[in-house]
Amino acid sequence: MTLPSARRELVATARQLNASGLGADRSTSGRSTSGNLSARVKGGFLITPTGVPYEAMKARDLVELDSDGAPRPGQLLPSSEWRFHRDILKARGEIGAIVHTHSPKATSLACTGRGIPAFHYMIAVAGGADIRCAPYHTFGSQELSDAAVEALKGRLACLLANHGVIALGTDLNGALSLAGEVEDLAAKYCAALALGDIRILDGLEMERVIDKFRTYGKQHAVDDGLEFGGGAPPDPAAPGPPAHPAPER
């Protein structure tokens, strides 16, 4: 992706974050200033600037930092959380984008210092058998960055105690989608906690689910149960396979 296209996509995703309701905080003007987003680009990453509402943000306002976190001269100040964006991207070469939110339910849960256990199989969407909660450290600090990197080992999302959520993706769309999944799971977990004892899925079942998620949602052509890799192509006039309902989410 070129730098101009990355800038446009980052602005569009920030506005989608607002529209989704995940950007919960509001400035005194009523405009959202919550959270921050970044995208990997050649030589470093782009990040949202500090204090600029997403509704007013332009592509030129995004801040370009090198892989060590040094900004190019003449730009706005980057988000105060640039350190954990830098360190996560350094530690996770497969990650292309980061979305950090203060979404209501997940942040409320994080304010109790709890992560989200395997109360529902969809926890596996975050890459493991639970969603960890990193211990509290002052926003923007190196200590917070170190704690976030640790909580994200083997995971695609974590909570930050008394703070919010970090969601990772190969691209911005994936990171934003995962942030929404984490908020939904947090809401369900909070509701379940209010009802009483919660059944937690065991490690063996979560291993099965995680393995199934490796191909979850990926489409491929089939012919009598075999992938098309050779031989005659399917007859386009032939009836297709019966429709199957999507798995419960």
What pLDDT shows up at residue 34? 75
pLDDT < 50: residue spans in the chain: 26-30, 222-249
**Residue 112 CB partners (closer than 8 Å, separation 6+):** none
What pLDDT shows up at residue 223? 47
Q: What is the pLDDT of residues 101-129, one digit of tens each?
A: 999 999 999 999 999 999 999 999 999 99
Describe the crossing of helices 142-151 and 82-91 by its angle, rounded to 10 degrees.
40
Q: What is the pLDDT of residues 180-210, one digit of tens each?
A: 999 999 999 999 999 999 999 999 999 999 9
What pLDDT shows up at residue 21? 85
pTM: 0.84
CA distances for 36 relative to 39, 55, 154, 182, 222, angstroms? 11, 13, 22, 16, 42
- Residues catalogued as catalytic: 81
Most distant CA atoms of the chain, gap in Å? 65
What pLDDT shows up at residue 23? 75
Domain at 3-195: CATH architecture: 3-Layer(aba) Sandwich (3.40)
What pLDDT shows up at residue 1? 73
Residue 127 CA to residue 123 CA, distance in Å, equals 8
